[in-house]
Amino acid sequence: MTHVPPAARPAARELAWLFAVALLLRLAAFFLHGCAEHAAGKDAWSWGYESGCIAQSLADGHGYAGQWARAEGPYAEHAPVTGWLAPAYPYGLALLMELGGGVTPTTAGLLLGIQCVLSALTCVLVFGLGAALGGRRLARVAGWALAFLPYAIWNAAHTVWDTTCVAFVLAGFAWLVVRFGRDASVGRSALLGLAFGLVLLVNPAPASIVPAALWIVASASPSWSGRIARVAAFGAVAFLVVLPWCLRNREAVGSFAVRTNLGVEMMVGNNDLANGYFQVKLHPSYNPDEFRAYIAQGEVPYAAACMERAKAWIRADPLRFARLTLHRARLYWFGDFPWSDPRTEGTKSAASDPGSWVKWGLHGLTGLLCVLGCALWAKRGREHRALVVMLLLFPAPYYLTHVLERYRFPIEPLMLLPACAFLLWVVDRARGSSALAPGEPGR
């Protein structure tokens, strides 16, 4: 019989409790809001947008195609092959559609139930990261904070998009890097590359954090030859993992890439209407004229033309682009003030919606605490600084394109670590000051 060290038993019990409570909170939100029933009577677009439409095409036997297919207007006429999204989430959703009979409450229940489990497991991963970076105290605070975080619960229980999955795989990869990166052999570096390649197949946005991962992997060797070998092993295996999908995209749509939408995202974020957000009026999924141009030109030429439109706009007024980029960075980290948020829901503005104020307060506070915690961790160990670099690099593409709140959620679990570390540092400082005797000089 395997002997379990006594110290490991309390940790295992606490992790079990953390997972169970986090899962129950997410399932409670799922059942109380009737999230599965929201799929009743909807088509793939109104339920799952691009992911839903591609999954529906796969489930119907039409291939990886038709990311905007629906009954209205020109969108009902064409379902071209696409490389718009990375494959993992749409293929997984297609499998669930086959099991659930299409866009049905059964399919929604299966999908959102899996997302609730992944979100609860992310709390466990954050606990492990906290233990590696700051000990059991930070692990507990960060892990339980994520368990009760409202938008972590809501994304898992309600949102048909890959955000919860990306948060899970990114937290898992960060844990692997922190736990094994510094002592990585060439073989272990290759395994880390394997993990990162799988992350990219879920969503390629984390590609921007590569420098931080390579920094840790390279530091495992004291010699330049050893560093180069480890970096090469990491990069080669990651490349081999995504290679089949990139080759498929080159063959199907003419682009050797994991995703093909960058040019369009640049265009809808950099134009005369630009305010930092996604401009629905210019996107081919909502603008019939843009959609017709997309069909006429083909996906890759259309995206390239959109990139040229964005570049021309940037060249015409680089100062405006610079201000807009700074504005998007502020939106990403701190959100938009409700009184100046231009978005509306029906006739309700953000300023008149109490929920928007609560959402903005929580979003902005988390961002502020994370930034302060990153400043604190910049003076800590290499793993601390690597995580800071990951947090700073991940949003870079959104600074250049456009921002939505859900774009931050994949790194929200990681953000809680420096945020909670800063709060604990403040508490410790306050306790140290209050413990001083009257008249005793400060320490």
**pLDDT of 182 above 70:** yes
Q: Which tens digit of pLDDT belongs to each residue from 36-59?
A: 999 999 999 999 999 999 999 999
Beta bridge partners of residue 65, listed in sequence order: 81
Residue 184: per-residue pLDDT: 86
Residue 353: per-residue pLDDT: 73
Q: Which tens digit of pLDDT belongs to each residue from 351-410?
A: 777 777 888 888 999 999 999 999 999 888 888 999 999 999 999 999 999 998 889 999
**pLDDT of 438 above 70:** no
- H/E element holding 344? strand 344-345
Local confidence band at 315 (pLDDT 50, 70, 90 cut-offs): very high
Helix ranges (DSSP H) in 159-202: 163-180, 186-202
Q: Which tens digit of pLDDT belongs to each residue from 294-311?
A: 999 999 999 999 999 999
Whole-number Å distance between alpha carbons of 207 and 199: 9
**pLDDT of 14 above 80:** yes
- H/E element holding 348? strand 348-349
What pTM, to 2 d.p., does this model score? Answer: 0.92
Average pLDDT over all residues of the chain: 91
Using the structure block, give the residue that is written with the tokens 């957000």: 277
Q: Which tens digit of pLDDT belongs to each residue from 84-125?
A: 999 999 999 999 999 999 999 999 999 999 999 999 999 999
**pLDDT of 439 above 50:** no
How many CB atoms are located within 10 Å of the residue 226 CB? 15
Alpha-carbon distances, residue 353 vs 148, 343, 369 (angstroms): 23, 11, 25
Residue 157: per-residue pLDDT: 97
Helix ranges (DSSP H) in 206-261: 210-218, 224-252
DSSP 349: E
Alpha-carbon distances, residue 403 vs 327, 331, 364, 365, 408 (angstroms): 10, 7, 14, 18, 9
Give the CA radius of gyration of the chain.
Answer: 23
Q: Which range among 158-167, 236-245, 353-362 shows the weakest confidence by mean pLDDT? A: 353-362
